[in-house]
């Protein structure tokens, strides 16, 4: 039995659009009781149809602060940039206000990028001048994916920062990609009020099975941080589900039911 709500769809576009609708519902719920909502998103190819759905949705983005789960340390004009893809497919077409967009500054060295990004998040959540709040920020919604190696965010198998539950951001060198990245760390991802994962493609079927039902070892399968560690950290009498999973048929073929 998995603690993750699972939503299956025929193809990747349907899964992405359903994931987008789910996120908008969670943002609406957050905005019903607060003046602003916070959303952290992932990049890559899978969410492109979701961002196009966001752009066409008519949703009022004026009260939503948008952040990135992780970013490749490349210029914002580079085709690899998560910011560029998101801006081109959603932020610009939907006229999301620049003041609501909190992107990673990749114009400085990676460690400085991570430090500035952490400062920006703290400023947005806790106000200017707050350097070390007691609690981690709690995003209303975080959206993640999963790679064929079971990585999520820019937390790849074997990364020591997978054990970090107190830090906010970090610069990580991804050897297999020969690239620096800036990523949110496990503590803040796990602490989110709502978490969703969009996972599509046949190459995700086996890692998804391992993440859900294999040996619990987030060091080797970082996606377990969101699927299995969130419920395990619930206080007595408090129910916290794992991430809601939006899957296409290809990715879900080894998941029972």
Taking only the tens place, the pLDDT of each residue in 151-190 is: 999 999 999 999 999 999 999 999 999 999 999 999 999 9
> What whole-number distance in Å separates Cα of residue 158 and Cα of residue 179?
16
In the beta sheet, which residues pair with residue 39? Answer: 66, 141
Would you place residue 235 in the very low, low, confident or very high pLDDT band (cuts 50, 70, 90)? very low
User: Where do we find the tokens 């607060």?
Assistant: 34
* Domain at 57, CATH number: 3.40.50.1360
Task: Indicate whether 85 belongs to any domain.
Answer: yes
Would you place residue 130 in the very low, low, confident or very high pLDDT band (cuts 50, 70, 90)? low
Structure tokens at 5: 């709500």
Average pLDDT, the chain: 94
Task: Indicate whether 227 belongs to any domain.
Answer: yes
Task: Indicate whether 1 belongs to any domain.
Answer: no
Q: Give me the domain span that covers residue 241.
A: 6-248
- Which H helix or E strand runs over 144? strand 141-144
In the beta sheet, which residues pair with residue 169? Answer: 184
> What whole-number distance in Å separates Cα of residue 245 and Cα of residue 257?
14
Residue 101 contacts residue 91 (beta carbons within 8 Å): yes
The helix-helix angle for 48-56 and 12-31 (nearest 10°) equals 50
> What whole-number distance in Å separates Cα of residue 198 and Cα of residue 44?
11
> What whole-number distance in Å separates Cα of residue 241 and Cα of residue 226?
9
Task: Indicate whether 170 belongs to any domain.
Answer: yes
What backbone torsions phi and psi does residue 240 show, to the nearest 5 degrees? -125, 120
Would you say the C-alpha torsion 197, 200, 205, 207 has a positive or negative sign?
negative
Q: Is 41 helix (H, G, I), strand (E, B) or coil?
A: strand
Mind listing the pLDDT tens digit for each residue in 29-85?
999 999 999 999 999 899 999 999 999 999 999 999 999 999 999 999 999 999 999
Task: Indicate whether 103 belongs to any domain.
Answer: yes
Give the count of domains, the chain: 1
> What whole-number distance in Å separates Cα of residue 171 and Cα of residue 115?
9
Task: Indicate whether 92 belongs to any domain.
Answer: yes
Task: Indicate whether 256 belongs to any domain.
Answer: no
Mind listing the pLDDT tens digit for each residue in 83-115?
999 999 999 999 999 999 999 999 999 999 999
Residue 55 contacts residue 93 (beta carbons within 8 Å): yes
Would you place residue 230 in the very low, low, confident or very high pLDDT band (cuts 50, 70, 90)? confident
Task: Indicate whether 38 belongs to any domain.
Answer: yes
Structure tokens at 55: 């752009």
How many residues belong to the chain? 257
Name, in order, each residue with C-beta under 8 angstroms of 163's C-beta and a sequence gap of 6 or more.
186, 219
pTM score, whole prediction = 0.95
Name, in order, each residue with C-beta under 8 angstroms of 31's C-beta and a sequence gap of 6 or more.
37, 63, 64
């Amino acid at each position: 039995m998995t603690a993750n709500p699972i939503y299956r769809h025929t193809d990747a576009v349907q899964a992405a659009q359903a994931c987008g609708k789910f996120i908008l519902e969670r943002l609406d719920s957050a905005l019903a009781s607060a003046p602003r909502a916070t959303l952290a998103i992932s990049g890559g190819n899978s969410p492109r149809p979701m961002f196009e759905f966001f752009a066409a949705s008519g949703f009022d983005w004026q009260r939503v602060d948008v952040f990135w789960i992780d970013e490749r340390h490349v210029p914002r004009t580079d085709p690899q940039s998560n910011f560029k893809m998101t801006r081109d497919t959603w932020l610009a077409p939907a006229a999301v206000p620049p003041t609501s967009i909190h992107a990673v500054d990749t114009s400085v060295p990676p460690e400085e990028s991570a430090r500035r990004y952490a400062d920006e998040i703290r400023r947005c959540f806790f106000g200017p001048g707050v350097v070390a709040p007691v609690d981690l920020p709690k995003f209303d919604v975080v959206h993640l994916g999963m790679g064929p190696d079971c990585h999520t965010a820019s937390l790849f198998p074997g990364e020591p920062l997978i054990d970090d539950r107190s830090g906010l951001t970090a610069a990580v060198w991804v050897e297999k990609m020969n690239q620096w990245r800036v990523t949110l760390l496990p503590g803040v991802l796990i602490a989110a009020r709502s978490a969703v994962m969009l996972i599509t493609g046949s190459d995700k079927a086996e890692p998804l099975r391992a993440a859900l039902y294999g040996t619990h070892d987030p060091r080797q399968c970082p996606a377990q941080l969101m699927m299995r560690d969130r419920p395990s950290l619930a206080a007595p009498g408090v129910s916290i589900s794992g991430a809601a999973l939006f899957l296409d048929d290809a990715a879900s073929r080894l998941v029972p039911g």
